[in-house]
Amino acid sequence: MSGSAAIPMKVKLIIAGVILILLLVIGIVIYSAGNRKGKSKGQVNISTLPADLAGGQGAQASESEIRQLASEIYEDMKGLNVWGHNITPWQRVLALSDTDLVRLSNEFNTSYQKESEQTLKEWVDSEVGGGTAWPTVRETVLTRLNKLNIL
Ligand SMILES: [Ca+2]
């Protein structure tokens, strides 16, 4: 006879029940902590558009183009990106004028910062993924966002 056979079935069921309840309580605590965090943040960072310097480019993209592009880069980043990133919208990001890039950042933060708890710059900074193209795109986007003092 092994030792475990000596433990009555009833006791085993009680132990299993206690473990289940503990897991449930831990789950509820983690879930509600996550919810509180989301509610207390809820901040949206809006940067001032750069004054157009001599020879600089002002706003060129339409409101709907900026909104569409913000949505496309959000869709690209929100997954785990195991198979890499969709570089096409990022190439359009890098082709934006300084003013349009700030507009894009503001649009992205307005639409997605509350949910993700990250600004566009913070998210790009922390974003990883498979493939070889992303590190260069990420660096180039970050360099431009930093130059424009975007938060
Ligand atoms: Ca991602």
Ligand 1 geometric centre to CA of 43 (Å):
21
CA–CA separation, 93 and 140 (whole Å): 10
pTM of the predicted protein model: 0.70
Whether residues 113 and 83 share a domain: the answer is yes
Q: From ligand 1's centre to the CA of 109, what distance in Å?
A: 16
Question: HSE of 28 in the Cβ direction (CA atoms, 13 Å)?
Answer: 6
Task: List, in sequence order, the alpha helices (H) in the chain.
Answer: 9-41, 63-77, 87-94, 98-108, 114-116, 120-126, 134-147
57 CA to centre of ligand 1 in angstroms = 31
How would you write the pLDDT of the chain (151 residues) with one tens digit per residue? 555 568 888 988 888 888 888 888 877 676 666 554 544 468 899 988 876 544 556 788 999 999 999 999 999 999 899 989 999 999 999 999 999 999 999 999 999 999 999 999 999 999 998 888 999 999 999 999 999 988 8
Per-residue pLDDT, 39:
46
**Is 107 part of a structural domain of the chain?**
yes
pLDDT of residue 40: 46
Domain that holds residue 78: 63-147
77 and 118 share one domain? yes
Domain check: are 136 and 89 in the same one?
Answer: yes
Query: Which residue's entry shows tokens 């890499």?
Result: 84
Looking at the domain assignment, is residue 67 inside a domain? Answer: yes
pLDDT at 51: 62
Please tell me whether residues 86 and 133 are part of one structural domain: yes
- Residue 115 inside a domain? The answer is yes
Q: What spacing in Å lies between the alpha carbon of 81 and ligand 1's midpoint?
A: 5
If one counts the domains in the chain, the total is: 2
CA of 8 to the centre of ligand 1 (A): 49
Ligand 1 centre distance from Cα of residue 77 (Å): 4
What's the pLDDT at 89?
98
In a domain, 143, yes or no: yes
Residue 145 confidence (pLDDT): 94
- State whether 83 and 36 are in the same domain: no
139 and 101 share a domain?
yes
Residues 83 and 24 in one domain: no
In this predicted structure, what is the pLDDT of residue 41? 67
The answer as to whether 20 is a domain residue is yes
Q: Does residue 54 lie within any of the structural domains?
A: no
Distance 123 CA to ligand 1 centre (A): 9
What's the token pair of residue 143? 């360099």
